[in-house]
Structure 1
């Protein structure tokens, strides 16, 4: 049994589609960070995406826990040409594709970006490597909205449309357990 505690990074306050852009997180809510750190298992291993909003959030909650190297495979969705653009801007240029991307996700991809299925494959492979390497351990994984959704989808056996209905707030905690025979979910989007 491996515990997986998925923490969404601190807010960027961007009002655009932020995937692989390396924006900083606002970590001014030190009380929320302290509550989150106190709640997480003290013997957990901390890992994050290599983007600074996750790295800095992981630094803020790490405490005395051991840290694993940042993993670029845990990055957010690559929005390609849509990166740092608003839904409204993109909709004006490519209304059918952006609506299909969010309403019927799967193989639809932004120009020069990733489809949902590609994101899920990338993240699932990275998480499987972590689980295999640290089987029976406790992993604190500081990542992005899309990354957390991929793992909820997997654990809950949801369709992409169903998992997109989940809200994942900044500095929220989603806790899953990987058993030898499958997955179980403890909390989704828990705010401390």
Structure 2
């Protein structure tokens, strides 16, 4: 089957640099040039470069929603963004690094190319960015001023949710809340052995089952969870089922929430890996694009998988409170994506067995971290 090709045109602007800022992006069919999606948003007071990156992220996310397997050509009139995302220029400014990392995680790197175009060839994205700035400064939400018909698009009109904006945002209705629960202990947990998505798939230990029951009691007392989703691994299914039975809910399995594939490190302690695979371990700790020895995934590819799983859960349960039972790496990834933190921030988080985190997601794409590594129910 022929791979679908999409073009993303993105732009951002700041009136004052920093000043009132906004972005615009369009996604086109590469063959016909038809606009498939338009996206724009007001960002508050940020710099021009931040706005450019936000436009890129929104355009890539819109393209990903259309076809996560597409080949994408990004066209921008920002030489800085094009050269940095192409890997030819170093990203020196600390504010740009997490934005570049976020953009790089939407699609696999090999599926995206970047081209610089002059401003006059980026008129649609530029227009949308200015419309968003005008709307924001007037105190209203951006709305399209030039309609693209279904016939012209080839499909119903769609507006991509905005990238997380800076600062405060308007009332966007009921948020979708993901309560993130790490599974209870297995026999490997207290020994701090690598336990991923391959290997023995251990079950909960007696302590792990006790932890799952305590988590279930805490959630039943709150009475807010409306759905339960978990990874396909046995330890997460057992934890999720303990909660679901208490709440009278079914468990839905989401494949994208499974743990990282640790390859040859499965079942080993950190010290054992350091002894047997020192070079691979050093590379893994130095770069989120490195893979464990014999493993099929890096933290960067895990980020893409988890973000796609998150989007499926949010689409399935809009406005609801959903318990998501998963593992250390996927939960840390969801937290750092909500914060817009760089990929290597996962190395600086602690996540205990059977601990709770919580993230709320709003209609504009913004996210708010509400809880991190809460173990109060286990005391």
Is the 8 Å Cα contact of residues 19 and 76 (structure 1) preserved in structure 2?
Answer: yes
Provide the rounded CA distance (Å) in 1 between the counterparts of 2:222 and 2:307: 22
Moved more, 116-125 or 58-67: 58-67
Residue in structure 2 matched with residue 61 of structure 1 by the alignment = 243
Provide the rounded CA distance (Å) in 1 between the counterparts of 2:257 and 2:231: 5
1:176 aligns with 2:364: no
Is the 8 Å Cα contact of residues 54 and 143 (structure 1) preserved in structure 2?
Answer: yes
Normalising by structure 2, what TM-score? Answer: 0.48
Structure 2 gaps of 5+ residues are 1-174
1:6 aligns with 2:190: no
User: Structure 1 residues 32, 68: CA separation in 2 closer, same or farther (over 3 Å shift)?
Assistant: closer
Provide the rounded CA distance (Å) in 2 between the counterparts of 1:41 and 1:132: 22
How far 1:100 sits from its partner (Å)?
2.8
1:23 aligns with 2:207: no
| Structure 1 SS opposite 2:350 | coil
Provide the rounded CA distance (Å) in 2 between the counterparts of 1:177 and 1:57: 22
Query: Aligned residues, how many?
Result: 191
Moved more, 28-37 or 134-143: 28-37
1:107 aligns with 2:299: no
Deviation track 1:73-113 (CA, whole Å, cap 9, x = no partner) reads 21111101211122222222321221231x32410001331
User: Structure 1 residues 157, 41: CA separation in 2 closer, same or farther (over 3 Å shift)?
Assistant: farther
RCO greater where, 1 or 2, for CA within 8 Å and sep 6 or more? 1
How far 1:65 sits from its partner (Å)?
4.1
Residue in structure 2 matched with residue 37 of structure 1 by the alignment = 219
User: Rg larger in 1 or in 2?
Assistant: 2
Residue in structure 2 matched with residue 159 of structure 1 by the alignment = 342
